[in-house]
Copies of this chain bind each other. A is one copy, B any other.
């Protein structure tokens, strides 16, 4: 048996390669092997399947094997494990997982779309029952069966990444008690700390327990079944553990035949999906790529990326030319009714990549303030000092975040400067946006900051100053008294904006000290800032994003 094109793997990249190869070549024979029971399933939908938001298994599986046969004439063979590749003979050895029999199958071109698997680190007790991962529809079905047996009352989710947080929401929505244990100081590390803090607070407000900076030291159980998770921050009783601490590429087949590997053991590929062997191609979660902004090797596995890489690999292996330009690390997450998205580089990533970055946060409404359903969003733009080149953006809030994130994706992909964003003609009508578009505004404020017209301070930095007993500065809240009375930053002093100039002598002692001006969203603080500067307060600055974006305690 021999296929002109043989594909290993049947989720996003594998099925995309199959379908696109067929469109490019109606006559070649195409075979696809997968270890799984299913092909073409929506892995990103699994948390919502657990939550019952997606109600049937059928909805998750985009195509069945017979559909890929019918529409694209692809021989799909499920429960087939490819054990080895012989690149000289152009054959693979395949084990039928049901019959246990092996056979050799020939190929003209081979495409590796083997994906990635969940990490299961050697933590003491990890082999016990009740410790699961979530990667396939079957994994989800197993967990759903436990849920329907009422066997899960309390779940510990190890890992506060995207999947972990999405699963936490979905368990919580089912009324299951949930604890997220994250080793790092914050959940969702691709986000800036201020934003992650808001998401963390919002999880807690929705009854999800979140432990950050907590390392899992071991699992304990009874009768081989997990009952306790031991962490550096205490022991948690549980009857179910979901491990969600990351994935590793399935690159062993590639490694065994000496294909070049890249970052974190990914299969190394050129932008066209070629591996180091001329007849072997690769796409999807097993494949390394590059970062659009840094140009450096990157591996940020996503179903959306797998689809694009699969299309490119199919074009390449059928003799056309195409290139995948790389990843921006764009992600978006729903945390109950709070949303957050990010793209490009974060501040730390930007510094690590050798940039000298500057950022600014702005809080505004997503729609006309008078239109029902308008909600706030806080936009952080990150740019390179000097050149003004946009490096990244992060947005969170109860309003629409994915819209401005996608606009930033285009801007980053095309090498925009922040200033370019300040006057673009974005779509405006009251049900959709504000007359001063949030991105126009955020870009304008960052341009002001870069040009020295405005000095800002982020929540994180101001919080650090407040914790520093040697800080000699002042937190000056310039909202009206009733606003200030409701909630304010501990230790702040209130002089309403309207009285600022007449009462300026009260703060005369701070002329050469830092004064952080606070208002609700940052607008009045800017007006106050300009006045203090005029009066010679050389270290005046405003709290970026306003009190609305302050993630720490208020009183």
Contact of A427 among B312, B406, B428 (CB under 8 A): B406
Interface string of A492-512 (1 = CB under 8 A from B): 000001100000000000000
Contact of A48 among B371, B405, B410 (CB under 8 A): B371
What chain B residues lie within 8 Å of A166 (beta carbons)?
429
Report whether A406 and B407 are in contact in the complex, using a CB–CB cutoff of 8 Å.
yes
Report whether A428 and B71 are in contact in the complex, using a CB–CB cutoff of 8 Å.
no
Report whether B429 and A531 are in contact in the complex, using a CB–CB cutoff of 8 Å.
no
Output the nearest chain B residue to A341 by Cβ-Cβ distance. Answer: B427
Is A294 part of the binding interface, using a Cβ–Cβ cutoff of 8 Å? Answer: no
What chain B residues lie within 8 Å of A531 (beta carbons)?
26
What chain B residues lie within 8 Å of A53 (beta carbons)?
371-372
Given A12-B435, A407-B407, does the pair A425, B59 have CB atoms closer than 8 Å?
Answer: no
Report whether B534 and A427 are in contact in the complex, using a CB–CB cutoff of 8 Å.
no
The segment from A142-150, A273-281, A416-424 found at the interface with B is: A416-424
Report whether A333 and B414 are in contact in the complex, using a CB–CB cutoff of 8 Å.
no
Is A174 part of the binding interface, using a Cβ–Cβ cutoff of 8 Å? Answer: no
Is A303 part of the binding interface, using a Cβ–Cβ cutoff of 8 Å? Answer: yes
The segment from A152-160, A185-193, A215-223, A320-328 found at the interface with B is: A320-328
Is A292 part of the binding interface, using a Cβ–Cβ cutoff of 8 Å? Answer: yes
Report whether B45 and A371 are in contact in the complex, using a CB–CB cutoff of 8 Å.
yes
- Closest beta carbon of chain B to A174's beta carbon, Å: 16
What chain B residues lie within 8 Å of A60 (beta carbons)?
370
Given A370-B60, A433-B402, does the pair A426, B330 have CB atoms closer than 8 Å?
Answer: yes
- Closest beta carbon of chain B to A286's beta carbon, Å: 17
Is A352 part of the binding interface, using a Cβ–Cβ cutoff of 8 Å? Answer: no
Is A21 part of the binding interface, using a Cβ–Cβ cutoff of 8 Å? Answer: no
Output the nearest chain B residue to A332 by Cβ-Cβ distance. Answer: B427
- How far apart sit A411 and B413, CA to CA, in the bound complex (Å)? 9
Interface centre among A327, A426, A439, A531 (most CB of B within 10 A): A426
What chain B residues lie within 8 Å of A351 (beta carbons)?
none
Is A334 part of the binding interface, using a Cβ–Cβ cutoff of 8 Å? Answer: yes
Report whether B42 and A402 are in contact in the complex, using a CB–CB cutoff of 8 Å.
no
Report whether B435 and A370 are in contact in the complex, using a CB–CB cutoff of 8 Å.
no
Q: Which of chain A's residues 335-371 have a Cβ closer than 8 Å to chain B?
A: 339, 341, 343, 368-371
Interface centre among A306, A311, A414, A530 (most CB of B within 10 A): A414
Given A406-B407, A411-B410, does the pair A426, B304 have CB atoms closer than 8 Å?
Answer: yes
Given A42-B368, A303-B435, A368-B45, does the pair A527, B72 have CB atoms closer than 8 Å?
Answer: yes
- How far apart sit A431 and B526, CA to CA, in the bound complex (Å)? 36
Report whether B435 and A413 are in contact in the complex, using a CB–CB cutoff of 8 Å.
no
Report whether A308 and B440 are in contact in the complex, using a CB–CB cutoff of 8 Å.
yes
User: How many copies make up the complex?
Assistant: 2
Interface size on A, residues (CB 8 A): 87
Report whether B429 and A44 are in contact in the complex, using a CB–CB cutoff of 8 Å.
yes
Is A302 part of the binding interface, using a Cβ–Cβ cutoff of 8 Å? Answer: yes
Is A238 part of the binding interface, using a Cβ–Cβ cutoff of 8 Å? Answer: no
Contact of A534 among B26, B70, B368, B426 (CB under 8 A): B26
- How far apart sit A304 and B403, CA to CA, in the bound complex (Å)? 17
Is A23 part of the binding interface, using a Cβ–Cβ cutoff of 8 Å? Answer: yes
Output the nearest chain B residue to A289 by Cβ-Cβ distance. Answer: B425
- Closest beta carbon of chain B to A424's beta carbon, Å: 5
Contact of A330 among B332, B402, B421, B427 (CB under 8 A): B427
Output the nearest chain B residue to A344 by Cβ-Cβ distance. Answer: B425
Output the nearest chain B residue to A440 by Cβ-Cβ distance. Answer: B308
Report whether B332 and A429 are in contact in the complex, using a CB–CB cutoff of 8 Å.
yes
Output the nearest chain B residue to A441 by Cβ-Cβ distance. Answer: B307
- How far apart sit A416 and B284, CA to CA, in the bound complex (Å)? 26
Is A119 part of the binding interface, using a Cβ–Cβ cutoff of 8 Å? Answer: no
- Closest beta carbon of chain B to A22's beta carbon, Å: 8
Is A111 part of the binding interface, using a Cβ–Cβ cutoff of 8 Å? Answer: no
Output the nearest chain B residue to A45 by Cβ-Cβ distance. Answer: B430
Is A331 part of the binding interface, using a Cβ–Cβ cutoff of 8 Å? Answer: yes
Given A26-B530, A325-B423, does the pair A48, B406 have CB atoms closer than 8 Å?
Answer: no
- How far apart sit A147 and B452, CA to CA, in the bound complex (Å)? 52
4 additional A-B pairs beyond A59-B369, A332-B432, beta carbons within 8 Å, are A44-B428, A45-B371, A71-B527, A409-B427
The chain A residues found within 8 Å of chain B, CB to CB, are 12, 23, 26, 42, 44-45, 48, 53-54, 59-60, 62, 70-72, 162, 166, 292, 302-308, 311-312, 324-334, 339, 341, 343, 368-372, 400, 402-407, 409-411, 413-416, 420-421, 423-433, 435-437, 439-440, 444, 497-498, 524, 526-527, 530-531, 534
Q: Can you list 25 A-B pairs, Cβ within 8 angstroms, ordered by A?
A: A23-B530, A42-B368, A44-B429, A59-B370, A304-B437, A305-B425, A327-B425, A328-B424, A328-B425, A330-B425, A330-B426, A330-B427, A331-B429, A343-B425, A343-B427, A402-B433, A403-B403, A404-B406, A406-B426, A406-B437, A406-B439, A409-B426, A409-B427, A410-B411, A413-B425
